[in-house]
Chain A
Amino acid sequence: GAVVSQHPSWVICKSGTSVKIECRSLDFQATTMFWYRQFPKQSLMLMATSNEGSKATYEQGVEKDKFLINHASLTLSTLTVTSAHPEDSSFYICSARDLESPKTNEQFFGPGTRLTVL
């Protein structure tokens, strides 16, 4: 099956700094990628939809100036958490949609990035 990677797998940063997380589709092209956040013992919540070559679409309540998304190529989307604070500490997971998949709207998920803000 299709593979999605994330880098880094975990990161610890100081409050006030910015952190960039990469999401790559390794063996397929993804015009659309998705970013999710998961707090401890909770389910995944969609943060934004990343579209190649255009602006991301953010879910209600997600600050677009704080969570910057760039989808510069068909295989790479990045999420930058700007001026991170301890409440941003979470598990961030991306997914990518394989347009050539015969299964409607099949998406493949990355392994996640654990962000801890001190």
Chain B
Amino acid sequence: KQEVTQIPAALSVPEGENLVLNCSFTDSAIYNLQWFRQDPGKGLTSLLLIQSSQREQTSGRLNASLDKSSGRSTLYIAASQPGDSATYLCAVTNFNKFYFGSGTKLNVKP
């Protein structure tokens, strides 16, 4: 069974810092990996989707990488802002099913 782990569970940084969130998974046979943002009491906002054949995806200040062989992905956030404060979830898919990590709660202090 696929298991997804996210480290750290929580992170607090001052505004302007660059930061890295980590995601690891146990089964490398994945279709894709997706990073989401979840604000308190809200649904999921998709940030980046990396297909299994890709190594990375970029959107604005966000960059996500994928290393299937080692079962790892990182989400890099450049020049963090208070508005980036949220919980970040990574999820891997094996065919139809999504397997979510427990998330990293990010707090960016002004």
Contact = CB atoms under 8 A, between A and B. Distances in A.
Contacts of A46: 97-98
Interface of B, secondary structure class, is strand
Nearest to A44: B100
A85 interface: no
Given A43-B89, A44-B89, A105 B96 contact: yes
Interface of A, secondary structure class, is strand
Given A32-B96, A43-B103, A44-B89, A108 B31 contact: no
B21 interface: no
Interface residues of B, number: 22
B81 interface: no
B96 A106 contact: no
B42 A103 contact: no
Interface of B: 31-32, 36, 41-44, 46, 49, 51-52, 89, 91, 93, 95-98, 100-103
B96 A49 contact: yes
Interface of A: 1, 6, 32, 34, 36, 42-46, 49, 91, 93, 95, 97, 103-112, 114
A44 B90 CA distance: 11
A110 B44 CA distance: 7
Contacts of B96: 32, 34, 49, 97, 105
Given A49-B96, A105-B93, A111 B43 contact: yes
* Complex A-B, nearest 10 residue pairs according to Cβ-Cβ distance, in ascending order: A111-B43, A112-B43, A109-B44, A43-B100, A43-B102, A105-B31, A44-B100, A105-B93, A104-B31, A109-B43
Contact of A106 (B43, B49, B95, B97): B49
A107 B42 contact: no
A110 B43 contact: yes
